[in-house]
A and B are shown apart, each in its own frame.
Chain A
Amino acid sequence: VEWEAPEFEELIT
């Protein structure tokens, strides 16, 4: 798989 920078995005109920 092509690598991309790991990311997380905080958004819930």
Chain B
Amino acid sequence: MSTDVTRSSRPRLAAHVRLAFDRSRGRHVLLGPESVSVLNRPGASILDLCDGSRTVADIVANLRGRYDRVVDDEVTAFLARLVVKRYVEVGDD
């Protein structure tokens, strides 16, 4: 399993974490066994698309249909930080 994130990487949430929406506070959170991370809207949008089949390039293309602009490097850096935390795993072609 790679730890580098590139445009051809296929990220997915690690088995022990899941994306959830906190209705009472109106925010998305990433839930782990003993950790909780609060996500901003773009962060939640990215993780919602991390299904292990889409590449990072696919995810960026999808986001471009929903946001006024998308910075590729910010998406890649965000995912790389989550890989380091072991919240996200990546496979490569």
Contacts and interface: CB of A to CB of B under 8 A. Distances in A.
Contacts of A9: 37-38
Given A8-B30, A8-B43, A3 B68 contact: yes
Interface residues of B, number: 24
A1 to B, nearest CB: 5
Describe A's contact surface by its main secondary structure.
Answer: loop
Contacts of B75: 6
A3 B67 contact: yes
B35 A6 contact: no
Interface in B43-86: 43, 45-46, 66-71, 74-75, 78, 81-82
Interface of B: 30, 34-43, 45-46, 66-71, 74-75, 78, 81-82
